[in-house]
Every structure is written in structure tokens, then in C-alpha cells.
Structure 1
Amino acid sequence: MTNDPIRVVVCGDEGVGKSSLITSLVKDVYVPNIQPVLPPITIPKEFSVSGASNPTIIVDTSADPLEVQSLQHEIKRASVIWLVYSGHYTCERISLFWMPWFRSMGVNLPVVLCANQCDRVPEIEAEHAIEDEMVPIMKEFKEIQSCIRCSAKDHYNVNEAFYLCQRAVTHPITPLFDSKEGYLKPACVQALKRIFFLSDSDQDGYLSDREFYLLQVKCFKKPLEPRELAQVKETLNSTSSNVVSERGISEDGFIALNQLFAVKGRHETIWGILRAFHYTDSLSLADSFLYPKLDVPENSNVELSPEGYRFFVDMFVLFDKDSDGGLNEAELKALFKPTPGIPNLWQEFNFPHSTVKNEQGNITLQGWLAQWSMTTNLDYKTTMEYLALLGFENSQLHNINTPTLTQAYRNREITDALKVTKPRKRRNPRSRSYRNSIVDRTVFSCFVVGSRGSGKTSLLQAFLNRPFSEDYSPTIRPVTVVNSVEVHGGKQCYLILEELGELELAVLDNQSRLDNCDVLCLTYDSSDPDSFAYLVDLRKRFPLLDNIPAVYVALKADLDRQQQRSDLQPDVYTRELRMPVPLHVSVQWPTALNELFIQLAESARVPGPATPRFEDDEEELSLMPSLLAVAALGTVAITASWIWRSYLQSSRS
């Protein structure tokens, strides 16, 4: 619902009592001898009969053929049509003229059908009015959402008719219920199933009394008395079988309960549930809920907060039904049930091969958290969406032992699961430019670069603890993997390694891509004499690389080491850049591998020592004139002091 006013346009033949109904509503009493057509009347939202959050404008109309253009104009602006008739003739006109005319205008508005002047109808005839007159019309025209008998003179059901008009806008039945078939529509059922999933905190397939209590409080801000819950269960048992047990109300029972609400015209109850879970009138989730506003300064990153990590840990534990420490395909399918499925970004990275798996091929908790860390770093809006879909905002309710109304209704914001890091800045001394040290980030991106066959793919697989394979196939498309690394001091961070494939040269010439890279892993095959020259050539071709911290790595160190065909050997080359010499690593050496990943993470955190330098530090050289000046001043001071002492001594003599 928007905050626009609800426009109720009152239509019907002359003499049916349209103006009298409006006057009776506003004055709360029948007023005779009123003007034929009343001006529009605004009813503030605080005086709304239905408690709508919008003000309501009631527009009276004339059926005079001379006023047809004005009537058409008002109908096109209407939110709902209050269609009034009185007597047999005007009732027939509903089907023969009014409803076909509305359709011919191309409007698709809810209609509330009202039989006015029921005080003139004998009581026996009145009892059959709805069944004989209104029900056939409602079956013929689906736009008619409800019908009611009124009397402006007796002030009978006038407020109720107005309430139905408001409710037709604020709580429309059309998206929820197929009155012809008598069933909830598929989109409504799907939404209710998601709500059941999120409310079933222990995922046992039933809403326990406590879970139903919390759902009631969330949706309607008031608790459900035990007696009322017992009545709900009794009603469900009388209408459906096997939907209520000692464990609670099943999913089918929850759907059946809402079906009863729809049949009995209590669709505002269904909307109360749907809107508490952020569903719009079209039964889609509100964008403001899926993607709340988050201010991210330029050069800042978004990561999971401790609350976000805790939520994903809880989800992992809850759905690891066999307690084997891994999520298998069936468990992942169950976990992602209230979502469109595994995120598209994960599919692009060939999940679950992008993160840590156990021997059975199931994703571990370490891999699960690493995958979400990478997702948040690369596309935090995807993480936002899935936090919303998986129920982050309401998850803390399940941990309340004795919830009060205030405690139970308090929702978390999706943004509570995220944190925005400080902007990445650069230091600019005279001798070089390099990135500042990082103190508030835990997720780092690393491009793995090197000549074909240098061992990049094997390095990525070793990072995920996968066994080494002798089979070689060139990497065409980029490959991205992620895992956690424990750096010096015991702090844990996440490292995203990306092998660029055939896009390597294009990426290395792209300023925006390089800005998002925290460290380069420059690899060469120590057993191939031509391998290191590729890295030397890269630095010449792409000067942007000199602004990024890097770690040189000599892979395949278990093989015979070869002299590199390069003007400078790797150790000399890196020393001239004032960088650490290459690490000699083999995927067969776990200790050396671990040290490499730690050095990559440390270089991302403290970029200065890993960033190339080409000449003497001018900052240090610039101190020499200052030191000489200080020395000169010191000499002058000493000389002056000696002269002063000599003068004093001669004076005393």
C-alpha cells in the first residue's frame, strides 16, 4: 500500500440513495432533503472505519447522461467503486448496464455492491435478497468483491459498507483467492509456505504452540490466548485431517487455516500475515525489504558482521540434519527452499567447487562461511537479498526463552548483518605511492597471475585442500575460489583467489578491476627456464601493476630448479624492487603452501613492504639537508659559546 488517498467513487442510478448513504456515514444520522450531488468529502485516516493508514476521499456522482464525462473522469481516478442499487429494476441495471460499462472503460477496480433502502423491503424478502440478487451478480462479475444490504434512513450497515470499500483497497481479495474455484491462488500459497518455513524455527515441519505464538505476535502485535489456539486447532481438525498433531500445526494445516479465512471473508487476516513478512499487493517482496539502503563510500568494502556470521552458522547447524559436518545436496535444497535457489553468483563460480568440501563432497561450515564472505565482498546486494529471504530479521526471536510482547516483536534490520569497512587510502611519500595498512577488513581479493602451465590451477585446488592431479588443461574462463586463512596473531581472514584465464591481459589493463584487487600472486614455474620472463614482461606492459602489493611465487619447487632466461634472476629482480624474494612452493608441501597464503593475506593487510620501489627513498635523502642545517647551527652555537666564555675570562682578568 502507498500513502495515496483512497478514492471511493459512489455510482448508481438516480434515486437509489447515493448521497443519503454518504450523508448518513458522515453525520452518523439520516438527513432528509439534501442536495442531489455532494462535493467530495475527505475522511482523515484517524477517523477511518477500517483503520486504514491512508485518508479516504468519498466522491458522489450523478447518473445524468449529461454528466457522463465527469463520471468517467472520476471512475478512472477511483481506487474502489461503491455501486448502489435499490429495488428490482436498478438491480437488473447492475448486470445490464453498470458492470459492462465499467469493463468497456478498461478499468480494473474492485467493486462493492450495496443494496440500499432495505428498510422498504419486507423482512421475508430481505432474507433472500443476497442469495437471489447479489450472489448471481458476484458470480458473473469477478470485480465485485463483496456485497451488503444497507439503509441510509435507519443508518443500517452504512459504516460496514464503507469499511468494505476501504478493505477492498487495503486488503484486496483478488490476489489471494479464486472465488470461482474456491481456493487460494498459487502465489498466495507460495508466500504462505515461505512464512511457514520461516516460522518453523526447529524445521520439524510443524508450528508448535510457541512458534504459533511468536507468529501471532509478529503479525498482529498481540499474543494468542491458549483458549483461542485450542479453538483454531479444533476448527482445523473438523475441516481437514492429519493437519494437527501433538507437535503442532503442519504446513497443510497452516494453508487450510488461511483458506478458511478467505472463505469467511477474513482476508484482512491473511494480509496481516503477508504484510508482516513484507509482501506487497502483488505478493512480491518489497524491494525496500530485500535491498535496504546501505551507504558504502567509494573504495570501501562490505563484509558480514558478527551477527551475519552467527546467522549463517545457525542456518548451517539447523539444516545439517545428519550432523556430519557438511551440507549435502538435499540439505542445501531444504535450506534454500524459501528462496529462488542457489544464488546466480554461486552458479557462476561453479559452487560448491569454489569452496571447501569434505571427503563426501559436501560443503563444510568453513566453506559455507567462506562462500558467503566472498559473496558479500563481491556483491553485497545478493547477500542482502538472501538474508531477507532466509529470515535474518526474525531469527533472534527463536532464542527468546520467555518472550514478552515487546521482545518478540522487535525485528533486526538486514543491514545489522553487514558492516562497511573504512575507505581504502593511499600513502604518497616522495619516493613511491602505496596503499595504507588495513585494520578493519577480513576479506581480501587476490589475482593469481602467471604464464601458462606455471601451476596456477593446482595452486587454487591446493588452497581448497583438494588432491593434486597430474592432468593438465588450460584455464579458459576465470576460476574463483575462497577459503579462510589464519594470519600471524591468530586472526582469521578470508582470501579470494581468482585465476583470470584468457581474460588475464584484459583484466590487468583495467583500472577498476585492479582497484578491487588487494594483492597479486605472481607465479612462475621454477622448473621452466622461460616462465619468469612472462612476469617481467607483464610489469613492462602494465605499469598499473606497480601500485598493487604482490607476492612472487616459484611454483613446482619439488622439481629441479632451472636458471631463468631473464636479464635478472628472480631473487635479484625482487631485491631491486625492494620486495621479498620469491617463495619456493610446491602443492606437495603443505607447510610452504600455508606460509604462502599467510603472506598473501598479510601483504593485503599491510601493503607497503609488498609494493615495488625503484629508487632510494627520497624521504630519507631529504633529511640530509635538514641534518646539515642542524649541524651547522650546532657549530655556530658552540663557536658563539666559546667566544662568550673567552670574553668573560678576559674581562675578569
Structure 2
Amino acid sequence: MRRDVRILLVGDEGVGKSTIVTSLIKEAFVAHVQHVVPEVTIPPEVTPENVTTYIVDTGAGPADRTHLESEVRKAHVICVVYAIDNPLSFDRIPTYWLPYFRQLGVNVPVILVGNKIDLRGGEVTNEALEDEIVPIMNEFKEVETCVECSARIPVNVSEVFYFAHKAVLHPTAPLYDSRDHVLKPACVAALTRIFKLCDANKDGVLDATELNEFQRKCFDAPLQQQELEGIKEMVQQHADGGVREIIRPDGSTEIGLTEAGFLYLHTIFIQRGRLETTWTVLRKFGYAEDLRLTSAFLCPKFDVPGDCSVELTPLGYQFLTDIFETFDKDRDGALCPAELEELFSTSPGNPWAAQRFPDTTVSDDAGAVTLQGWLAQWSMTTLLDHKTTLAYLAYLGYPDEPRTGALQVTRPRRVDRRRGKVTRNVFLAYVCGAAGSGKTSLLRAFVGKPFSTAYEPTSRLLSVVNSVAIGGSEKYLVLQEFGASHEAETLRNSKKTDTADVIVFVHDSSDTNSFSYISNLRQQYSLDHIPTQFVATKSDLDLALQRHEVQPDVYCRRLGLSVPVSVSVKTGQTADVFHAICGVAMNPHSAIPGGADRNAQAARLRTYMALTAGLAGLSAALVMVFRRRETGGFVAWAAGWSGWLLGRRD
């Protein structure tokens, strides 16, 4: 909701614009006022909505034209004032003022203000007033309402500005079609989504418990039983299909509110001028004035330092488990396409639709994603793109605030590698190797997909995820294959390689040229700081002598690594290769090429060289100072400090 409201008063000369403003401020009639009252600022604590209010008066003479046009363009709401005793001032509203605003390209709410009702002769009924105003409102949809007042008595002066506030803070136009007297499609879509989120048991009806929870969330107070019964009775009388009987688990029944009844209630609120009720509901669920979820709601502030990753917390996993079980209508332990479609009906759609899902995770024989696969997929999404997880927690109705409590930031990888103890639960492994070496088959085997004899080159990033039981706990392992066209681009990017917990080099043990591709990759890019695992695929075929200076097992031993794990995806002999990869991620010291000690020695050597260079520079500076100032005290001071720096102790 906006922080300020700028109210502009326009109208013909002599209709009482300036008098209305002074009557509001002075709370009394002022007979003689300026031609144009200076801009008035009302602090937020004075207004019910806690917003700063600016009230701007204008003149209608030729000399005021430039100022008038400038203020019309800046206004949030325009009050067109006419005088009850001057019919011409009313007639000029549809013939001059409203077309003038449109000519300037201004599209803001307009309030019609009839001033000087104290000068009207005789009674005027609401029906007569409607007969005058409704034709204008039908032609000019920007007109919100009409208020009659008197600055002299004064009567209804504060109401003028109340309705002006409402027109800005709780506008009708986005919600309601005043011409057809129906909710607009965007409003229906937003309220329908809210209804679905509040329908906790997904039975299509809001029972008393769900209605009270909705009331508490939006208005911080439950409904009284009498109010609840009154709402149901009204909807039952006036909205077909607005209520439905619910059978409780104990066999008793109650009347619940359907989606049609929920929409009918908000239609009534709007028609009766209680737009603030509907807007309060919409804003509590993250909607802005354009009836779109705000970016601040979808992506709250969540800082992730470099070299850290993001994982779901137990609260996040519990919410995702609960929502899986809620939408698993047939209780078969998996979500079929229809159940997934219903689950994502409160969001823009399946976030993995373009990622070959559910082939990216564990599914049953029919292709329905299991709970294990569901949680694994979200673990991968959170690791690779935590903003998507945050947004979908909002779309799916995560109940607790702050929503960032569903995520946690891990300790930096470099700290884990230095301490030799990993605290994370989700690991990322890059799978690299020559085309045709069996990388894709390895990834498919990891998520339980059948082996395919047809070869299809990988043309885009492929990511899969599954859980791995290791060391008495369950970890999630993400395997990524880039394809020949993107592999080099990834490996030369240090920011990307720093996010990998393991790099898996795959070669075809039956292809004599397969291993040399890996060796060339390692020579071309700096990858020795990443824990490494070698894998030899197609072990069911004859072992080929690799065209390389040394064979793979010797190559690995020289690096201080275990020999390649031999697997055959075709025959199902994977030799616990995924446990081995996960074990490397959990114990990075054991799989650093060249050995952790050698890398540590290299790091210490770099530190020593840097320190030596620094000391040399500092010593040279001291010698220069000594030459410039040959005073005894200073020489002694310099000698003492240089001796300390160089490690001499006298």
C-alpha cells in the first residue's frame, strides 16, 4: 500500500474549493479565504490508514492553467467540486472536466463533490441524486462516487476526504466492473486462489475452523459464532451454490462456504462500499493494486554469502511433506499429473515443466513422483535457485512468517574442506566426460529410470537428484551434466566450479580415446581444488587400452585418488558409485587431487612467499627512513622495530 495520498480539488470558479479545504483544517467556516489555498500536508498519525496526505487547491482562471495542468498530472485522486446552487458547474463536469483529464492522459479515481447543500431549496431523494450521477458514472468509469457537503454549516466535509482516501488506497476499478456489476476477472482469480489456500483439507468448502483461521490471518480476530451463522445464512439466501453441507469425522454435519459463496461475499462488500475489507484480504495474501503478487512478497530479503549454499530447514521439509500428502487424493504415495496440476493451481504452474520433470527425480512405474522424489526435487531447486523455492512457498501458502525460516544458509565450502567435516545435507556434483561415455545413462540410473540403448547427445543442462543413505543419515545428491557444448564454458568459470562439491570424471572403459578427453580437461582448467571421483562406464564390454601416457588406475594413484569405480548401467551393476560420490562430498580431504596435505603445503608456501615479500618491502622502507633521519633516538627505535620484524631477539 502506498505511503502517501495526493488529493487535488478542481472545479469552476466560485464553487467553494478553497472554502472546503479551510473548513476541514479549521473545523469551522471561514468567510474570506485566499483565491487558492496553499498546499496542506496532513501527517500520517492523523489519518486512519497512517499515510501522509497532501491536499492541493487549484484555480480555474486562465492564469491558473499551467499550475492546474501540472497538479492534475501529479494527483492520486481528483475531487471535482460543483455548487448545488449553480447547475452549470455540474453540467460542465461531463462536458469539460472529465474529458479534460482524459485529454491529459490522466487515469486516476475521480470523486464528484456537490458543495453548498445548505443553499438547496427543498428535499432531494437518493433516487433523484442517482438519476443525475449514474449516467456520468456509466460514461466515465473513473468516477468512483459522489459526495454532497456544505463548507458553511459544515456538513460532510471530512467525508469528502475520507472517500478520496478510499478511492486511492482501496480503489474500485481493479476489483469491480461498475457497468456490469460483477467482479473483474483478475479479482476473481486472486480471490479464488485465496479460497484454495484457505481450504486446508482441499474439500472445496470452508468450514468454521477454516473460516476462523482466514479471519484471524486477515483481521487478527476470529469470527463470533453469531457473525458466522449470519454470513452463512445470508449467502444461502442470495447465492446459488454458495454453501454446502459438510459431514464431520464424527458423523455430524455443518454448513460450509463454497468458492461461489466466498466470491459472492466480496461482491457484496464492494457493492456496499466496504472495499477496504476486500483490499485487506488481498494485501494480506501479497497482492498489489494491479492484483499481482508483489516481488517483495514472492522474494523476501535472504542474503547468501559467497561459497555458501541454501537448504531447506525441517520446517520447510515438513510443509512440503504436508502439501504432498494433502494432494495425494488416492493415497498411493505418488502425485500423478492431475494431482500435480491441482497442487500448482495456486501458482503460475509447475516450476520444472521445462526440465524434463519427473525424469529428474524418483517416480513410480507410472511416472508419478513419489514423496522421496518430491522432497529431493525441492532440495535440488533450493540448492540451485533458492529464489524459486521462496516464491513457490508463497504460491503454495506456507503458513509461517517469516517465510525465510523454511530455508537455511550452510557453512562456506572452504571452511568445511579446511576442517575436514561437512555440515551440509545437499551436495552438487558435476559429471564431465567425452560424448558417448555414458554420463546421461549414469544420471538416469541414479533416479531409477530404465536404460535406453538409443544414443541422444546432451544439448542442454541436465540435472537429476535423489537421496543417498550414508553414514546413518540421508543426504541429497544433485548430479549435473552440461553437454559437450556447455562443459568448457562451465569449467572455465570459477564462480560455477566453486559451487561444486564433487567433480565426477566419466570415461568409457571400452573406448580407447575416452580417458584422454578427461586428462585434457584437467590440464586445461584449474580443478585440483575440487574433490574428485573417477568413474569407468560400460564395464560389461571388453576393457580397452586407453591411448594415454598412463592407464586410468595409474593416473589416479599418482594423484593420490582411488582408482576409477567400474560400472555398467546396462546390466544394473553400479557398484555403489553414488555412495562413493556422496562419500567424497562428505569427506573432501580424501579426494583432493594431489592430496590434501600437498594442497595445504602449497597454500602455506603461497602464504610464506606473500609474507616474505611484505617484510622485504617494510625493511626497505625502514632503510629509507633511516637514511633521511640519522638521529640517535630514531635509529634506536627503527633498529628495535626492524629487529622484531625480522625475528632478532637481543
TM-score, length of structure 1 as denominator length: 0.86
Instruction: Please give the alpha-carbon distance, in whole angstroms, between the structure 2 residues aligned to 1:14 and 1:446.
Output: 76
Task: Specify which of 583, 594, 605 is matched with residue 602 of structure 1.
Answer: 583
Q: Deviations over 1:88-140 (max 9, x none)?
A: 22111212222122222221121111111112223433545412322222222
CA apart distance, 1:550: 1.2
Matched, 1:586 2:568: yes
Matched, 1:250 2:231: no
Instruction: Please give the alpha-carbon distance, in whole angstroms, between the structure 2 residues aligned to 1:619 and 1:36.
Output: 82
549-558 or 250-259, larger mean C-alpha shift:
549-558
Task: Specify which of 396, 414, 418 is matched with residue 403 of structure 2.
Answer: 414
2:567 and 2:575 in contact (8 A); partners too = no
1:477 and 1:502 in contact (8 A); partners too = no
Instruction: Please give the alpha-carbon distance, in whole angstroms, between the structure 1 residues aligned to 2:354 and 2:405.
Output: 27
CA apart distance, 1:371: 0.8
67-76 or 331-340, larger mean C-alpha shift:
67-76
Match of 2:478 in 1: 496
Give the counterpart letter for 2:344 in structure 1. Answer: F
CA apart distance, 1:365: 0.7
CA apart distance, 1:201: 0.8
Instruction: Please give the alpha-carbon distance, in whole angstroms, between the structure 1 residues aligned to 2:583 and 2:232.
Output: 60
1:435 and 1:607 in contact (8 A); partners too = no
Instruction: Please give the alpha-carbon distance, in whole angstroms, between the structure 2 residues aligned to 1:547 and 1:362.
Output: 39
1:357 and 1:363 in contact (8 A); partners too = yes
501-510 or 491-500, larger mean C-alpha shift:
501-510
Instruction: Please give the alpha-carbon distance, in whole angstroms, between the structure 2 residues aligned to 1:120 and 1:374.
Output: 73
Matched, 1:372 2:369: no
Instruction: Please give the alpha-carbon distance, in whole angstroms, between the structure 1 residues aligned to 2:406 and 2:599.
Output: 45
Q: Deviations over 1:490-511 (max 9, x none)?
A: 1211111122222234433333
CA apart distance, 1:524: 2.4
Change (3 A) 1:315 1:438: farther
2:9 and 2:57 in contact (8 A); partners too = yes
Q: Give the 3-state SS of the residue equivalent to 2:561 in structure 1.
A: coil
Instruction: Please give the alpha-carbon distance, in whole angstroms, between the structure 2 residues aligned to 1:33 and 1:550.
Output: 87
Match of 1:75 in 2: 72
Q: How does 1:401-480 map to 2 (within 5 A)?
A: 411-425=400-414, 437-480=420-463
Change (3 A) 1:536 1:33: closer
Q: Deviations over 1:25-54 (max 9, x none)?
A: 223333334444322222222222xx1221
Matched, 1:531 2:514: yes
Instruction: Please give the alpha-carbon distance, in whole angstroms, between the structure 2 residues aligned to 1:478 and 1:64.
Output: 67
- Structure 2: unaligned runs, 5 residues or longer: 247-255, 605-650
2:491 and 2:525 in contact (8 A); partners too = no
1:149 and 1:157 in contact (8 A); partners too = yes
2:590 and 2:596 in contact (8 A); partners too = no
CA apart distance, 1:353: 0.8
Match of 2:21 in 1: 22
Instruction: Please give the alpha-carbon distance, in whole angstroms, between the structure 2 residues aligned to 1:113 and 1:621.
Output: 80
Instruction: Please give the alpha-carbon distance, in whole angstroms, between the structure 2 residues aligned to 1:373 and 1:532.
Output: 32
Match of 1:632 in 2: none
2:432 and 2:505 in contact (8 A); partners too = yes
CA apart distance, 1:562: 4.2
Instruction: Please give the alpha-carbon distance, in whole angstroms, between the structure 1 residues aligned to 2:413 and 2:181.
Output: 59
Q: How does 1:16-55 map to 2 (within 5 A)?
A: 16-48=15-47, 51-55=48-52
Q: How does 1:40-189 map to 2 (within 5 A)?
A: 40-48=39-47, 51-86=48-83, 87=85, 88-189=87-188
349-358 or 215-224, larger mean C-alpha shift:
215-224
Change (3 A) 1:534 1:104: closer
CA apart distance, 1:615: 12
CA apart distance, 1:576: 1.3
TM-score, length of structure 2 as denominator length: 0.86
CA apart distance, 1:212: 1.1
Matched, 1:299 2:319: no
CA apart distance, 1:578: 1.0
310-319 or 74-83, larger mean C-alpha shift:
74-83
Match of 1:349 in 2: 355
Give the counterpart letter for 1:582 in structure 2. Answer: P
Change (3 A) 1:134 1:446: same
CA apart distance, 1:9: 1.4
375-384 or 498-507, larger mean C-alpha shift:
498-507
Match of 2:504 in 1: 521
Q: How does 1:224-303 map to 2 (within 5 A)?
A: 224-247=223-246, 248-303=256-311
Instruction: Please give the alpha-carbon distance, in whole angstroms, between the structure 2 residues aligned to 1:373 and 1:342.
Output: 16
Give the counterpart letter for 1:415 in structure 2. Answer: T
Match of 1:308 in 2: 316
Seq. identity, %:
46
Q: Deviations over 1:366-413 (max 9, x none)?
A: 111111111111111111111111111x2xxxxxxxxxxxxxxxx411
Change (3 A) 1:77 1:451: closer
2:7 and 2:54 in contact (8 A); partners too = yes
2:108 and 2:142 in contact (8 A); partners too = yes
Change (3 A) 1:513 1:47: closer
Give the counterpart letter for 1:425 in structure 2. Answer: R
Change (3 A) 1:617 1:188: closer
Change (3 A) 1:584 1:152: same
Match of 2:2 in 1: 2
Give the counterpart letter for 1:511 in structure 2. Answer: S
Q: Give the 3-state SS of the residue equivalent to 1:124 in structure 2.
A: coil
Give the counterpart letter for 1:547 in structure 2. Answer: H
88-97 or 283-292, larger mean C-alpha shift:
88-97
Give the counterpart letter for 2:63 in structure 1. Answer: L
CA apart distance, 1:594: 5.9
Q: Give the 3-state SS of the residue equivalent to 2:528 in structure 1.
A: helix
Give the counterpart letter for 1:299 in structure 2. Answer: D
Q: Deviations over 1:214-255 (max 9, x none)?
A: 111211222221211222222212221111122311111111
Q: Give the 3-state SS of the residue equivalent to 1:452 in structure 2.
A: coil
Instruction: Please give the alpha-carbon distance, in whole angstroms, between the structure 2 residues aligned to 1:622 and 1:14.
Output: 83
| Count of residues in Structure 1 that have an aligned counterpart in Structure 2 | 592
1:507 and 1:514 in contact (8 A); partners too = yes
Q: Give the 3-state SS of the residue equivalent to 2:387 in structure 1.
A: helix
Instruction: Please give the alpha-carbon distance, in whole angstroms, between the structure 2 residues aligned to 1:279 and 1:451.
Output: 49
Instruction: Determine which structure has greater relative contact order: mean sequence separation of CA pairs < 8 Å that are 6+ residues apart, divided by chain length.
Output: 1
Match of 2:609 in 1: none
Give the counterpart letter for 1:187 in structure 2. Answer: A
CA apart distance, 1:292: 0.9
CA apart distance, 1:260: 1.4
Q: Deviations over 1:134-165 (max 9, x none)?
A: 22222221111111221223322222221001
1:444 and 1:495 in contact (8 A); partners too = yes
CA RMSD of aligned residues (A): 2.5
1:436 and 1:607 in contact (8 A); partners too = no
Instruction: Please give the alpha-carbon distance, in whole angstroms, between the structure 1 residues aligned to 2:599 and 2:123.
Output: 105
CA apart distance, 1:609: 1.7
CA apart distance, 1:436: 5.6
Match of 1:430 in 2: none
